[in-house]
């Protein structure tokens, strides 16, 4: 369990004082994949870097499995930090060393006996699917392969926590997916808690169990990924979700709509049709279906559709409030003419 309590990181420069992290409290359960999302400058890097004390918090508390990191010094602190692996957006590999040496370096730094190093590096390279690359240099690898080396290095000393700092942001979508799958496999098989920061909701949707959204150094919303997707509360959260679940209805079609356009989200894959047909039957309105899809989050379906509702204003209002009682989110996108 990672317990973050009242954590703040304040940067003081000549020009200004910035609260990079502003009084954040979060509990991350052992064995989960926890995503922290936010736009640039929200404080994600500051927060994740505080978790292994790469950044020294200004105040607050970080406990990992009950150990208060900020109270540890010397050897005890070094030992605790070995149990926290980290991977980075730009991989941070040593370009003059081979892949083997990049990984062995982390083992030597942790004073692993020389006799164990070869076996452990071989194991790690197999785990990340790079057994044939042990003697090449980082420049000879693709971005995805470099990140696999980063992951092998981060796992070298058997950490209980893996921190991922925008680990897929420099990768194309297919490579991103393969790295996310590898991270999920590591999470499941090695039972490592993963904390990742990202500005991409797709990443969260793909592998996270729970998530938090940051803005101006604060956590503004947190919860299970499915719950956040199906019932976002904050405007910013809704904005992030719409980046994944977007409806690109051609403007020529939208311009032709004279009724009210509503977006509806519902849980499960069968209830959606029922909501539409019941609404149209019960109220004196016409409903035109503009767009619909089912997203799978943690393999649970989440239905989303866009409709135009036409009819008397009061009837349309009643229909919307009826749909709101059955769906997890109903949002009026356009009020019509």
Ligand X SMILES: Nc1ncnc2c1ncn2[C@@H]1O[C@H](COP(=O)(O)OP(=O)(O)OP(=O)(O)O)[C@@H](O)[C@H]1O
Nearer to ligand X, 38 or 144 (CB): 38
Backbone angles phi, psi at 162, to 5 degrees: -120, 120
In the shown chain, the binding pattern of residues 131 to 170 toward ligand X, with x for contact by CB under 6 A and - for none, equals ----------------------------------------
Q: How far is the CB of 58 from ligand X (least distance, A)?
A: 12
Instruction: Measure CA 156 to chain center.
Output: 24
Interface residues for ligand X in 254-273 (CB under 6 A)? Answer: none
Nearer to ligand X, 165 or 308 (CB): 165
Q: In whole angstroms, how large is the CA radius of gyration of the chain?
A: 24
In the shown chain, the binding pattern of residues 96 to 115 toward ligand X, with x for contact by CB under 6 A and - for none, equals --------------------
Count of beta carbons in the 10 Å neighbourhood of residue 187: 18
Strand partners, 265: 304, 329
CA distances from 288 to 86, 253, 254 (A): 49, 12, 11
DSSP assignment string, 137-171:
-GGGS-HHHHHHHHHHHHHTT--SEEEEESTTTTS
Tell me, by CB under 6 A, how many residues bind ligand X. 12
Q: How far is the CB of 27 from ligand X (least distance, A)?
A: 21
Q: What angle do CA 162, 166, 167 make, to 5 degrees?
A: 60
CA distance 145 to 129: 9
In the shown chain, the binding pattern of residues 2 to 41 toward ligand X, with x for contact by CB under 6 A and - for none, equals ---------x-x----x-x-----------------x-xx
Q: How far is the CB of 240 from ligand X (least distance, A)?
A: 13
Q: How far is the CB of 12 from ligand X (least distance, A)?
A: 8
Interface residues for ligand X in 41-60 (CB under 6 A)? Answer: 41-46
Q: Pull the structure tokens for residue 125.
A: 């390279």
Nearer to ligand X, 86 or 327 (CB): 86
Nearer to ligand X, 60 or 311 (CB): 60
Nearer to ligand X, 46 or 145 (CB): 46
CA distance 113 to 124: 16
Annotate 296-316 with b (16+ C-beta within 10 A) or e (fewer). Answer: ebeeebbbbbbbbbbbeeeeb
CA distance 211 to 141: 32
Q: How far is the CB of 180 from ligand X (least distance, A)?
A: 18
Q: How far is the CB of 99 from ligand X (least distance, A)?
A: 27
Nearer to ligand X, 13 or 337 (CB): 13
Nearer to ligand X, 24 or 156 (CB): 24
Q: How far is the CB of 44 from ligand X (least distance, A)?
A: 4
Site for ligand X, rule CB under 6 A: 11, 13, 18, 20, 38, 40-46
């Amino acid at each position: 369990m990672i317990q973050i309590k009242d954590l703040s990181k304040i940067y003081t420069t000549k020009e200004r004082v910035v609260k990079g992290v502003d009084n954040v409290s979060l509990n991350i359960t052992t064995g989960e994949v926890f995503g922290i999302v936010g736009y640039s400058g929200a404080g994600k890097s500051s927060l994740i870097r505080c978790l292994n004390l790469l950044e020294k918090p200004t105040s607050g508390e970080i406990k990992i499995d009950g150990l208060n990191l900020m109270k540890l010094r010397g050897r005890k602190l070094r030992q605790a930090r070995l149990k926290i692996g980290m991977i980075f957006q730009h991989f941070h590999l040593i370009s003059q060393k081979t892949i083997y040496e990049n990984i062995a370096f982390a083992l030597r730094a942790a004073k692993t006996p020389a006799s164990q190093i070869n076996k452990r590096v071989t194991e790690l390279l197999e785990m990340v699917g790079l057994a044939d690359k042990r003697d090449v240099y980082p420049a000879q690898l693709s971005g995805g392969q470099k990140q696999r080396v980063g992951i092998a290095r981060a796992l070298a000393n058997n950490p209980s926590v893996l921190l991922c700092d925008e680990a897929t942001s420099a990768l194309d979508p297919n490579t991103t997916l393969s790295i996310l799958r590898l991270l999920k496999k590591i999470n499941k098989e090695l039972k490592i808690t993963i904390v990742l920061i990202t500005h991409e909701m797709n990443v969260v949707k793909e592998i996270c169990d729970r998530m938090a959204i940051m803005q101006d150094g604060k956590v503004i919303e947190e919860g299970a990924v499915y719950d956040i997707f199906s019932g976002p509360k904050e405007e910013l959260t809704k904005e992030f979700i719409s980046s994944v679940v977007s409806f690109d209805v051609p403007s020529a079609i939208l311009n032709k709509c004279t009724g009210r356009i509503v977006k509806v989200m519902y849980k499960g894959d069968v209830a959606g049709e029922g909501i539409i047909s019941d609404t149209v039957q019960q109220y004196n309105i016409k409903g035109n279906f503009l767009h619909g899809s089912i997203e799978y989050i943690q393999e649970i379906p989440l239905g989303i559709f866009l409709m135009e509702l036409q009819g008397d204003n009061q009837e349309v209002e009643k229909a919307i409030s009826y749909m709101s009682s059955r769906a997890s989110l109903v949002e009026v996108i356009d009020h019509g003419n």
